Amino acid sequence: MSETAIRSAVAADAEAICAIYNPYVASTTISFEEAPVAAAEMAQRIADVGDAGLPWLVAERDGTVIGYAYATRWRARPAYRHAVESTVYLDPAASGQGLGASLYRELLKQLQAGGLHTVIAGIAQPNERSVALHERLGFQKVAHFAQVGRKFDRWVDVAYWQLMLPGSPA
């Protein structure tokens, strides 16, 4: 198997990120978006995350982006500045190889280095693989909201997991 590299995302990765993300949009309730995201919009999202001083990472193998992870501010008001929401997506062909955990560990490392205190992950339910990944990394379930999303003519629950980053200010 080839070596996988994790690096910061750039605008030129937007098309590859869309190729990973848009099938989730089109055929699952993992994402609550209902229309495919264009590369230009994805490039803007990458820029917005960077402008907020947060990491957006990609995993690359043989020059091909096969997964990504990033963080966004949890809420807009200043008192929330130490909390972020995390996201990770993989090309389905790359799942089950530990890539999600590798991406997440690097994301968490960068968030911790950036002085963040807590990471929150919202997971549409059911999604056993995502729940298992988060719990393996130390996240704990903190909330479950019933029927807060509607996609494909059905209601979808969302649960939240939280991780306190070690060494962050008390």
pLDDT digits (tens, 9 = 90+) for 96-114: 889 999 999 999 999 999 9
Separation CA 124–CA 119 (nearest Å): 17
Residue 167 — pLDDT band, cuts 50, 70, 90?
A: confident
Domain boundaries, given as residue ranges, for the chain: 4-164
The residues near 119 (Cβ < 8 Å, ≥ 6 apart) are 71, 83, 84, 85, 86, 108, 111, 139, 162, 163, 165
pTM of the model: 0.94
Residue 2 has a pLDDT of: 76
User: What is the DSSP annotation of 58-116?
Assistant: EEEETTEEEEEEEEEES-SSGGGTTEEEEEEEE-GGGTTSSHHHHHHHHHHHHHHHTT-
Q: What's the CATH architecture for 4-164? A: 3-Layer(aba) Sandwich (3.40)
pLDDT digits (tens, 9 = 90+) for 63-99: 999 999 999 999 999 999 999 999 999 999 998 889 9
